[in-house]
Amino acid sequence: MKSMRRGKVVRYNKWGYIFLTPFILVYLVFQFIPLVSTIYNSFFENYRSGLTQIGPNFLGLENYKTIFSNGDILTYGKNTIIMWVMGFVPQIIVSLLLAAWFSNPSLRLKGQRFFKTVIYLPNLIMASAFAMLFFTLFSDGGPVNSILMQVGILDQPYKFMSSIWSTRTLVAFMNFLMWFGNTTILLMAGMMGIDTALFEAAEVDGATSTQAFFKITLPLLRPILVYVMITSLIGGLQMFDVPQILTNATGDPMRSTMTLIMYLNKHLYSKNYGLGGALSVVMFVVTGILSMIVYKFTNKKMD
């Protein structure tokens, strides 16, 4: 009797493994093997000059020394974080506001479906097309400048792409536009999941809607907020296409909009697998640590 039950459990478990196999296979081929080979490559001098291959020659930790000693990784990491924060802060505020409005039954907003679609639309455009559009709009002789001049705000065209903060703001603004719809939908789903009885009880107790939002909605929304935060952070560290296209791969002015991945991409011109690999490994570690901090932080609060 006992052994039979065990057999059933094992047989039942079998399906679990079968369903897991596709994921494991995909993970091994597309994630694990590249990961290991990246780490392996990072110990070699391996690049191409013209059509001549140089290396691979074993270097030990030389590549890591190079990328840390020239300080580039810090500069570009800082750029990435600055532009991410500039985009993420307005993104989360606007999304929270919109989600609260959309999910509040007492407001009875009309045309919700329409607006939900519209705010999600920018996300459907390819980032590169979006960046091209902004590049044209904000070029020295572009429509934005001519409107500002005709209205009389400016006498001279403002060179948006020649000033550090206006370029960074443009990048951040584009990321904000592209992602706030997505975040709104996620947060809304979270808010709809909150028991309405809580809001009714608060109302009976005389809480204002602001109080209800800060005391009920936000605390109960924390798991979703954390999820949004992690995915956005990881997406932010990988920021590439928008600044790449907007600045024509230069990261100018003075590389102040060059992100880590754009820097990585620079090494691919010479197929520099050694330095590129070392940079990737460093970024892997950094992301790992960041994710761990966020996870620890949330787990503690939830206990």
Partner 1 sequence: MKKKLLSTVLSITMIAGLFAGCGQKEAETTPAADGEAVVQEQEETPAEAVEASEEGKVLNIYCWNDEFKRRIQDHYPGYTSDANDATKGTIGDVTVVWNITPNQDNAYQNNLDETLLKQADADADSKIDIFLVEADYALKYVDTEYTMPVADLGVTESDLANQYQYTKDIVTDSNGVLKGVSWQGCPGAMFYSREVAKEVFGSDDPAEVQKYVSDWDTFNETAVTLKDAGYSIISSVNDSYRVYSNNVTSKWVVDGKINIDDNIMKWVEDSKVLVDAGQTGTHDLWSDDWSKGFYPEGKVFAYFGPAWLVNFSMAADAEGSIGNAGGWAATEGPQGFFWGGTWICAATGTDNASLIKDIMLQMTCNEEIMKEIVVDDDDFVNNKPAMEAMAADTSYSSKILGGQNPLGMYCAGVEGLDLSNLSIYDQGCNEEFQRSMKNYFDGNADLDGALDQFYKAVVEKYPELTY
Q: Which residues bind partner 1 (CB under 8 A)?
A: 27, 30-32, 34-35, 37-38, 41, 46-54, 70, 72, 136, 139-142, 159, 162-164, 230, 234, 237-238, 248-250, 252-256, 261, 264, 266-273, 275-277, 279-281, 283-284, 287-288, 291-292, 295-296, 299
Instruction: Tell me the closest approach of the beta carbon of residue 155 to partner 1, in angstroms.
Output: 12
β-bridge mates for residue 53, sequence order: 48
Instruction: Tell me the closest approach of the beta carbon of residue 215 to partner 1, in angstroms.
Output: 28
Q: Pick the closer one to partner 1 by CB: 117 or 136.
A: 136
* 3-state SS, residue 47: strand
Asked whether 142 and 136 are in contact (CB, 8 A), the reply is yes
DSSP state of 108: -
Q: Pick the closer one to partner 1 by CB: 184 or 280.
A: 280
Q: Pick the closer one to partner 1 by CB: 202 or 249.
A: 249
Pairing of strands 52-58, 44-49: antiparallel
Closest CA to 276 of 94, 45, 70, 2: 45
Q: Pick the closer one to partner 1 by CB: 80 or 217.
A: 80
Does a cis peptide bond (omega within 30 degrees of 0) precede residue 56? yes
Instruction: Tell me the closest approach of the beta carbon of residue 63 to partner 1, in angstroms.
Output: 11
Which residues lie below 8 Å from residue 7, measured CB to CB, with a gap of 6+? none
Instruction: Tell me the closest approach of the beta carbon of residue 183 to partner 1, in angstroms.
Output: 18
Q: Pick the closer one to partner 1 by CB: 121 or 254.
A: 254
Tokens of 58: 């074993």
Instruction: Tell me the closest approach of the beta carbon of residue 228 to partner 1, in angstroms.
Output: 14
Q: Is 207 left (phi over 0), alpha (psi -120 to 50) or beta?
A: beta
